Amino acid sequence: NAGVTQTPKFQVLKTGQSMTLQCAQDMNHNSMYWYRQDPGMGLRLIYYSASEGTTDKGEVPNGYNVSRLNKREFSLRLESAAPSQTSVYFCASSPGRDRGSELFFGSGTQLSVL
Amino acid sequence: LAKTTQPISMDSYEGQEVNITCSHNNIATNDYITWYQQFPSQGPRFIIQGYKTKVTNEVASLFIPADRKSSTLSLPRVSLSDTAVYYCLVGDMSGQNFVFGPGTRLSVLP
């Protein structure tokens, strides 16, 4: 049982390049999330998807887009990367409903934008 | 969104009990209190959750007073491997309104 799988683990981009971070969960969870974590800080919510077919903005959505491709997969896209988007990105999922606050996190993607 | 305040860092020694207190003065009626643990280069891991009084599992205990304006995570007999950042969050069961603060960096010394 892999849990939450994120790819890639590391990525270096040049300013203005685009890329998509992939996330998949095999726990049949309803809700999925994308967070970013900057050094010495807590996690900040970028976007979330309460259920398949829905997405909503979190605390810091600017510069990002998401797609809930199906129940398993939730991708995060940077259309034109900026140095301010250098961060560690975490995908998470949760069962939703009465266990919605129990988040399961992936191992993260370390992104550097030069 | 309910905001939490917790110490930035704490030190302890192996074998001691560690108590980390979190303040959440504006907690809402529907909010639960949830604690996560994060090791370096890993995503956070769910530890424990509660609404009121006391909750205990195989990892920790969570004490919540009647007014629910604070809570205390208790880690019994810590080991070096408990060195991590601990986050206190309050939010409803949807998980969609969680706000992760900087957490408490616990260092367990030999």
Residue partners of B108: CB distance under 8 A and separation at least 6: B11, B12, B13, B14, B18, B78, B79, B80, B81, B82, B83
Which of B72, B40, B74, B69 has the alpha carbon at shortest distance from B57? Answer: B74
**Chain A contact present for B92, CB below 8 A:** yes
Interchain contact, B95 vs A107, CB within 8 Å: no
Which of A113, A112, A105, A111 has the alpha carbon at shortest distance from A6? Answer: A105
The pLDDT tens digits of the residues spanning A31-69 come to: 999 999 998 778 899 999 988 889 999 989 999 999 998
The pLDDT tens digits of the residues spanning B1-30 come to: 558 999 999 999 999 999 999 999 999 898
Lowest mean pLDDT among A90-99, B11-20, B84-93: A90-99
Contact A68, A54 (CB under 8 A): yes
Contact B82, B75 (CB under 8 A): yes
- Residue A62 carries which DSSP code? T
Interchain contact, B96 vs A59, CB within 8 Å: no
Tell me chain B's radius of gyration from C-alpha atoms. 13
**Chain A contact present for B96, CB below 8 A:** yes
Q: In this predicted structure, what is the pLDDT of residue B2?
A: 58
Interchain contact, A105 vs B91, CB within 8 Å: no
Mean per-residue pLDDT, A18-33: 95
Nearest CB to B46 within list A33, A103, A107? A103
Nearest CB to B42 within list A42, A44, A107? A107
Query: How many alpha carbons fall within 13 Å on the CB side of residue B59?
Result: 11
Interchain contact, B43 vs A97, CB within 8 Å: no
The pLDDT tens digits of the residues spanning B33-81 come to: 999 999 988 999 999 999 999 999 999 999 999 999 999 999 999 999 9
- How many CB atoms within 10 Å of residue A111? 20
